[in-house]
Structures are given as structure tokens and as C-alpha cells.
A and B are shown apart, each in its own frame.
Chain A
Amino acid sequence: MIDVSAFNEALGIMFSSVGSWGWIVPGLIVGLVFSAIPGISITMAMAIVLPMSLYMDFFSAIVFLTSVYTGAGFGGSVPAILMNIPGSPSSFATTFDGYAMSQKGEHNEALGYALFASTLCGIAGYVLLLLVIEPLADIVLRIGPVEMFAVAIWGMMLLGSLGSTYISRGLLAAALGILLGTVGMNTAGFTRGTLGLPVLLDGIAPIPAMIGLLAASQLLSLASRDYIIEAEGSREVSLRKILKGCWGTLKYPGVLLRGSIIGIIIGAVPGVGSSIGNLIAYAETKRTAKDSATFGKGNPKGVIAAESAVASGEGGSMATMLALGIPGGGATAILIAAFMMHNIVPGPSFIETQKPMVYAIILNNIVQAIVLLAVGIGFIYVASNIMKVRTRYVLPAILVIATLGTFAVTGEAAGPITLFVFALLGYALNRYQYPVSAVVVGILLGRMLETEFLRSYQLSGGNPLYVLERPGAMAIFAVMFISLGMTAWGKRKQNRAEAAEALALRQIQEETRAAHTTPSKG
């Protein structure tokens, strides 16, 4: 639990280095702008500013970098909501309901919901982190391949809630995605499907592939319109409506809480990153919601669920980094490097000897989340103006920026080529009504599914009863099946009720018809 004297010292560090607070706003803006550009991920944004932070003193550097991280956690949802193109993989689930809302002319509200969910759960994540950083770190180390495999399966369940006209095509698309996700050298050192290209040894780069798949279909469908939203009256940018969305978030405490818990736990697991938490949080919220039929058609709960998991995942990821010196994802790997460049090695000894500093970093993150509220409102107010620009100007600009973004990672043509190939694939999938999002989920989860399944197999020596030795994995599977069973039961009851209702309605109709027809007979 919290160490009071260290906490007081942490406040001292915070207030004695007020100069470093000046880095919060620039950091947030850098994070927001970079992550709102499709094709540039949080990791990349941080890699770009890392060398800059070398010239700052330690606390300023950490404040600046974590501010970029906090800002980037939200920025990706702006293009997701306005254009159906996620700025980074972690805002993929935000597109499902966010874009649907903006098509209904509720983009202001949707952005408000996303921002508030993001900041509130970001704060919640860090507060929890302040309390349980050490026990959490120990639990995280105990999570093994079987548990991770269970989590990956859970992520795949999202497919069921994506909805498509044909089940068979949905499954086929998911299978294709998983296959694409396993291209490259696997964890046992076998190389598959690289076509002899060295760049594919590390697998297909997920960001250009995702942007290609989603953006191509989206941009082509937008090209036939004059503006992103067709109804002229809905294209307004309204501060009042943004604030209304912000306020509206508070009506769904259950969704916020569930998203935060899922986000923190998944974010804390090393090597998973934030791109899976949002998928699971969305799927779970949809499954348990009474109005699940309206998900994907512009239900604010969908936006809130996805964003809450992304933001709280940052706290989880930060916990693993500080307590164990292990990066939860690419962005925290950069943060570790920044620590080391300032002669500090995060890990168990760092937390023991420098607890005030750890608390100061966490507290500063809470401050950042609060500042993000103000900066974020300004940012979405400016960004929403894209709605007023004709698509003929917006689309080419987005294509050029996305291509540059994918090129910027390594400075190799591999990024843009991946983007182009997957854009063609995305177009073909759309043309024949295969759900593109199922392919994306497959690409994001395929590698993890395979790796963890393989490791579970190796660890157990092929004995399936090994799962009985892993209570954690059994608990995850149990929760998953119970939640599935309850949904199925609920659906059955609902179907029955609906059938009964329909029957009653038909009877009434028949009776009235009979009542109308009988007299004419006579």
C-alpha cells in the first residue's frame, strides 16, 4: 500500500521542479498530433522525441516523454471517430461506434465521450497504480503462456460482435488475418511465408497493413461524397456538444470501470500492449449491454468502453516498467531507454531506493491527464473542422500523410509498399463483402495466439491436463464461458419474449382482421 512519507517527498519533488511542468502541454500536443496522423504510432512518436529529451534534466525529460505518451493515448481516436481510420492500433475499437456516431452528426458528442473516458480512466489507472504498484508487478510476472493464450482467445471473441452478413465469410476473413499475422519467424525459429524477403522476417508491419486495409475501403467510399458527413446541418463544430458528450460519459460508470480494469490488467502484461485491451473491453461491454443490438450503429457506450481501456492500459504498462524494468509495449520500451540515458535503471531496486521519485512520476501522470482535458477539448475543436473541408481536398492529403507516416518508421519503402498491397486487399475484401475488420483483428492477434499456444504446448510437454495446474488460466476461461453462457441465455430469453410478442401481435392483427372481415361476410 501507499508509503505516506515517500508520498510527501514526492509532492516535494513535484513542487520543487515546477519548471518541468512547462513540458506537459508541449508533450501532450506532440502526442496528440502525431498519434492523430494515421500511420504514426505512439511508439514512433516517442522514438522521434527521445533524442530531444537527452538535453533536458531527468525529471523534465520524463515529464515530457510521459506527456507525449498520455497525449498519444487519446489522439488516435480523433481520426477513428471522424474518418473511420484509427490513428494507431489501440484506437481500432473506437471506430466501431465512434464513426457511426459521427455519421449521425454526433461527432462532437462522440469526441467528447472519448476524451472524457480517456482522461477519467487514465486518472483511475494511475491512482490504482499508486496504491498497488508492487503487488501488481509480482502478479504480472506470474502470468504465463496459458493465461496469455486465454486472453488472446478472449480477444478473438470480438469477432462474434463485429457482425457481418455472412458468417462463413467472416470466419474466412478472420482466418486470413491470423495467417497474415503469423508471417515471419515464429518463436521457435521457423520462418513462414516471407517470400524470401528479409523485411518480412519480423512479420508484416501491423500499422501500415491496418491503415491499408481500413483506409483504402474507407477512402474509396468517401470519395463518392462531397463531405465526410453528407447532411449539411450536421457538419457544425460545437463546443457545447463536445462538453455535452464529456458530461454524458459520467452516466456510464459501469462501462468506465469495466474498461479500466480490463485495460490495466492487459496493459500491465509485458509484450501485449494496448492494442488488445480495447478490443476485449468493447466486446465485453457489448455482450453485457441490454441494448447490444445498437452497438456498431452509434452507441456511445462502445466509444467509452474502447477508450477507457486504452487510457487505463497506460497506467498498467507504466507499473510493469517502473516496478520490474520490463516494457509492457513499444512506448514503455522507449521510456526505459530514456531512464537509462539519465543513468537510472527502472526495476525492483529503483522502486525500493527511489520510491518518492516513482510516486512523483505517477502523480505527474495524473496531472497530465487533467491537463489533457483542457488541451484535448481545444485539439478536437480544431481537428473537427476537417468535417467542413471537401473530401476532394481531405482524401489526397490523408493518403499522402499516411504514406509518409509508414515511410517514416524505418525510412524504407517497405512501409508504403505494405500499405499499398493491403489497400488493394482491403478493396477486394470490401468488393466481395468480406468483413475487413475481422482481418485486422486476425493480424493484431494472430502472432500472440500462435506464440502463446506454442509455448503452452512446449511447457506442458503436450499434456492438456497442464491447464489444471494454472488456476489463473482456468479462471480466465471460466469467466469467459460464464459470460458467454449468460449472454446466450439472455439472448434465448429475449428471443422467446420477442417470439411471444410477435405471436401476440399476430393474433391481435388476425383478430382485428377477422373482426373487419366478418361483418362483410354477412
Chain B
Amino acid sequence: MTHFTRRDVFKISAGGVAVASGMVAMPSILRAATYPSRPINVIVPFATGGYNDRLSRAFIPYLEQELGQPLVIVNKPGAGTQLGNSYALNQPADGYSILCTSAAPYIPLTVLLQNAPYKIEDFSMINLPSRDYTLAATSSGGPVKTFAEVIDKLKKDPTSLSIGVQPASADYANMVLAFQAAGIDASKLRIVTYDGGGPARNATAGAQVDVGFVGGEGFLPLKSKVRPLAIFAAEKVDWYPDAPLIGATLKTDFVEGSQRGWAVSTKLKNEQPEIFKIIVAAVEKASKNPKAIEALKLQELATTWYGPDASNKAYLDNAAKMAKYVDLLK
């Protein structure tokens, strides 16, 4: 695990020196007392226009009110959030860098499948308001009506229906788990892979594939073009009430699709607990601000306040489940 290149050593020691000099110049309590004294960067590991980008842009006016300093969005897209996440961890742990990211599934995925140079525990959640779930859907004009029908057909002939899914994703794991539970031979299925949720949704809506397994939220603008067959959630999803729960058809384990929201480095939480508290309090107040709730709702963005403990638990549970089923993802 601990093989450092010379560059890593340089980075760590340089970062260490920077932090150390900061600490020498200003004791922790004093730093917290003056925090925040300059603009704060919000690191979004996606390109402009994605969900996290929109969430951060819509939310920061309200967060600025609480923190009393301007927030600046820094988009660092690439390598399934790995570039942005690494960038965020390389910033000094002084509270002037906050992440707005899709913690699940991307942080576990980059760690498990891409050998990302960080650990799941290196990130601490503040609040993960947006939760997305895998939705199995078909084109609205398609012949398949229910998920039970899908299982029946595939049991008789695994090649009878084509399946669209993004490889190495929570959706893929859910698909394999469901078919395993139903006793379908997954190796014979006609699985068509898409490099993103968007293309997989288009293929489903356009009947390119018979059944698509994709994050459900993105289907909302295309709602009239698809028929939901099963949503991989434990309870009824308030933004897609007409989607039948997977539990109604099949008893299977599943992974939560996406958990998106606000996070910081664990280093900050441990070394600067006062600053961490200030950030948590500000996000909580902004999330509960009725104006923020109204503004974000209009853009179909989530503001639900779960808090750092519940969010962190959800994140770690998801990561543990992903690790458990990592072989399904490869």
C-alpha cells in the first residue's frame, strides 16, 4: 500500500510544510476564530452543467449568506471524479476548499477499480441531499409491461431481450444481483454497454435496447418516453412515485445509486474541528432556508438535510457494499 514515488514524497512534505507553517503562524483556535477570512473554493469534479455543478451554483448564494464570504466554483472534471477528488485532497486542510461531488458511487469506484491514490475514509461527508436509485425501464411503446415479464422471458431465453447499462457502475451491480436472485444465467445475456447514464437513457427511450438499467433521476425529463419497470430503492421514491419497487417483484440485495452533496477532507475534520463545525452549521442553515428550498426545488435539485453523521453512514455503507460486490463490477 505505502509505495511512495519521489513526487508523492515531495508533495506530502511540501503540503506538510505549508500546513505546519500555517499552524505555527496561527494556532488552531485562532484560525477558527477568523474563519472564513477570504473566498472559499467549491471543487466540483465534473464539467460545467452537470448535476453537481448545477447543485453548487444554485446553492452557493445561500451558503455565502451563512459563511459571509464569496464561494468560487472550481470545475475539475475527468477520470470519473478521480482528478477532482485528488485535487481537493491536495489542497491545504484549512477549510478553504469544499467538495460538491457524487460521493457514491464515484469515490468507491475510483478506489476499487482505478487504484485512485486515496482511501474511502479520506473524505468526510457534510450532507448528501441528493439520492438517486437504479431504475429498470423500457421504451414507453415497448412490448414489455412489468419486471416480472422481463424475468420470465430471460429465464426461458437469456438472449430474448437486450439490456443497456453502464459498466462498472452501481446500476451494473444491481442488474447482476437482480438476475442472480432470479436465477438467470448472466453470461448469456445480450448486454450493451454505454459510457454514461445519458447515452444509456437515450437508448432505452429510443428502444435501441429492450430494458435499460440507469439512474432514475435523469429519466425525469424523458418521463413520457419510458415505462418504469422497477426502481432499486427500499421505500417509495418521492420524485418518481409511479415506479414500482424492486422488492415487489424480486427479493434481492441492491446498492444505492448515487449520493450527491457536500464533503470535505477527513484531515480537515480531524485537525480543524472548529472550522469543520462552522462549515457544517452553515450548510445546515442554508439547507433549511425556505428560500433555498424553494429555489432549488424549481430546478429539481435536492436540499434535504441529513447531517454529517447520517450522510457519512450512508456513504460508508454504500462503499462497503460496493467493496463486497466489487467482483460483479469488473
CB distance from B214 to the nearest CB of A (A): 13
- B190 and A459 contacting across the interface, CB-CB below 8 Å: yes
- B195 and A270 contacting across the interface, CB-CB below 8 Å: no
- B221 and A202 contacting across the interface, CB-CB below 8 Å: no
Q: Determine if B77 is an interface residue (Cβ-Cβ < 8 Å).
A: yes
User: Which residue of A142, A189, A350 is within 8 Å of B207 (Cβ)?
Assistant: A142
A455 to B199 alpha-carbon distance, docked (Å): 12
Query: Which residues of B lie under 8 Å from residue A343 when comparing CB positions?
Result: 298-299
Q: Determine if A198 is an interface residue (Cβ-Cβ < 8 Å).
A: yes
Q: Determine if B18 is an interface residue (Cβ-Cβ < 8 Å).
A: no
- B114 and A201 contacting across the interface, CB-CB below 8 Å: yes
A346 to B209 alpha-carbon distance, docked (Å): 24
Q: Determine if B225 is an interface residue (Cβ-Cβ < 8 Å).
A: yes
A455 to B190 alpha-carbon distance, docked (Å): 10
CB distance from B265 to the nearest CB of A (A): 18
Choose, from A81-89, A290-298, A332-340, A495-503, the stretch at the interface: A332-340
CB under 8 Å from chain A, chain B span 162-210 = 162, 167-168, 190-195, 198-199, 202-203, 205-209
- B54 and A337 contacting across the interface, CB-CB below 8 Å: yes
Choose, from B79-87, B130-138, B235-243, the stretch at the interface: B79-87
Q: Determine if B78 is an interface residue (Cβ-Cβ < 8 Å).
A: yes
Choose, from B26-34, B45-53, B250-258, B267-275, the stretch at the interface: B45-53
Cβ-closest chain B residue relative to A325:
B221
Residue interface mask A325-364, B partner, CB < 8 A = 1: 1110000011011101101011111100000000000000
User: Which residue of A142, A201, A350, A460 is within 8 Å of B80 (Cβ)?
Assistant: A201
A199 to B299 alpha-carbon distance, docked (Å): 32
Cβ-closest chain A residue relative to B203:
A144
A458 with B224: in contact, given A198-B82, A341-B57 (CB under 8 Å)?
Answer: no
A199 to B300 alpha-carbon distance, docked (Å): 31
Query: Which residues of A lie under 8 Å from residue B193 when comparing CB positions?
Result: 187-189, 454-455, 458
Q: Determine if B120 is an interface residue (Cβ-Cβ < 8 Å).
A: no
Query: Which residues of A lie under 8 Å from residue B77 when comparing CB positions?
Result: 410
Q: Determine if A451 is an interface residue (Cβ-Cβ < 8 Å).
A: yes
Closest 10 CB pairs of A and B: A337-B49, A141-B206, A347-B221, A189-B167, A325-B221, A343-B298, A201-B79, A144-B208, A47-B48, A187-B195
CB distance from B184 to the nearest CB of A (A): 15
Given contacts A187-B194, A189-B168, A454-B193, 7 further A-B contacts (CB under 8 A): A50-B49, A144-B206, A337-B53, A345-B300, A348-B224, A348-B225, A451-B195
Query: Which residues of B lie under 8 Å from residue A326 when comparing CB positions?
Result: 198, 202, 222
Cβ-closest chain A residue relative to B47:
A47
Cβ-closest chain B residue relative to A348:
B224
- Give the interface SS of chain B, mostly helix, strand, loop or mixed: mixed
Q: Determine if B159 is an interface residue (Cβ-Cβ < 8 Å).
A: yes
Q: How many residues of B contact A (CB 8 A)?
A: 49
Cβ-closest chain A residue relative to B78:
A202
Q: Determine if B314 is an interface residue (Cβ-Cβ < 8 Å).
A: no
User: Which residue of B49, B58, B162 is within 8 Å of A334 (Cβ)?
Assistant: B49
A51 to B42 alpha-carbon distance, docked (Å): 14
Q: Determine if A20 is an interface residue (Cβ-Cβ < 8 Å).
A: no
- B54 and A340 contacting across the interface, CB-CB below 8 Å: yes
User: Which residue of A141, A198, A346, A460 is within 8 Å of B78 (Cβ)?
Assistant: A198
- A325 and B49 contacting across the interface, CB-CB below 8 Å: no
- B168 and A337 contacting across the interface, CB-CB below 8 Å: no
Provide a sorted-by-A list of 9 A–B residue pairs whose CB atoms are within 8 angstroms: A141-B225, A144-B206, A187-B193, A202-B78, A326-B222, A343-B298, A350-B221, A458-B191, A461-B190
Cβ-closest chain B residue relative to A186:
B195
Residue interface mask B101-129, A partner, CB < 8 A = 1: 00000000000001010000000000000
CB under 8 Å from chain B, chain A span 301-339 = 324-327, 333-334, 336-338
Query: Which residues of B lie under 8 Å from residue A141 when comparing CB positions?
Result: 202, 205-207, 225
- A270 and B199 contacting across the interface, CB-CB below 8 Å: yes
A411 to B73 alpha-carbon distance, docked (Å): 13
Query: Which residues of B lie under 8 Å from residue A186 when comparing CB positions?
Result: 195
Query: Which residues of A lie under 8 Å from residue B224 when comparing CB positions?
Result: 348-349
Query: Which residues of A lie under 8 Å from residue B162 when comparing CB positions?
Result: 458-459
CB distance from B79 to the nearest CB of A (A): 4
User: Which residue of A140, A334, A459 is within 8 Å of B209 (Cβ)?
Assistant: A459
Residues in B lying within 8 Å of A, measured CB to CB: 47-50, 53-54, 57-58, 73-80, 82-83, 86, 114, 116, 159, 162, 167-168, 190-195, 198-199, 202-203, 205-209, 220-225, 298-300
Query: Which residues of A lie under 8 Å from residue B221 when comparing CB positions?
Result: 324-325, 345-350
Cβ-closest chain A residue relative to B77:
A410
A346 to B300 alpha-carbon distance, docked (Å): 13
Query: Which residues of B lie under 8 Å from residue A412 when comparing CB positions?
Result: 76, 83
A302 to B58 alpha-carbon distance, docked (Å): 46
Cβ-closest chain A residue relative to B206:
A141
A336 with B49: in contact, given A54-B57, A143-B206, A345-B220 (CB under 8 Å)?
Answer: yes
A143 to B116 alpha-carbon distance, docked (Å): 36
A142 to B208 alpha-carbon distance, docked (Å): 7
User: Which residue of A199, A346, A459 is within 8 Å of B208 (Cβ)?
Assistant: A459
Q: Determine if A185 is an interface residue (Cβ-Cβ < 8 Å).
A: yes
CB distance from A52 to the nearest CB of B (A): 12
CB distance from A80 to the nearest CB of B (A): 26
Q: Determine if A485 is an interface residue (Cβ-Cβ < 8 Å).
A: no
A185 with B49: in contact, given A270-B202, A347-B221, A410-B78 (CB under 8 Å)?
Answer: no
- B54 and A198 contacting across the interface, CB-CB below 8 Å: no
- A458 and B48 contacting across the interface, CB-CB below 8 Å: no
A336 to B190 alpha-carbon distance, docked (Å): 32
Q: Determine if A208 is an interface residue (Cβ-Cβ < 8 Å).
A: no
- A198 and B205 contacting across the interface, CB-CB below 8 Å: no
Query: Which residues of B lie under 8 Å from residue A145 when comparing CB positions?
Result: 192, 208
A144 to B49 alpha-carbon distance, docked (Å): 26
- A198 and B83 contacting across the interface, CB-CB below 8 Å: yes
- B299 and A50 contacting across the interface, CB-CB below 8 Å: no
- B57 and A51 contacting across the interface, CB-CB below 8 Å: yes
A199 with B78: in contact, given A187-B167, A454-B193 (CB under 8 Å)?
Answer: yes
A199 to B79 alpha-carbon distance, docked (Å): 6
Cβ-closest chain B residue relative to A147:
B208
Q: Determine if A271 is an interface residue (Cβ-Cβ < 8 Å).
A: yes
- A410 and B76 contacting across the interface, CB-CB below 8 Å: yes
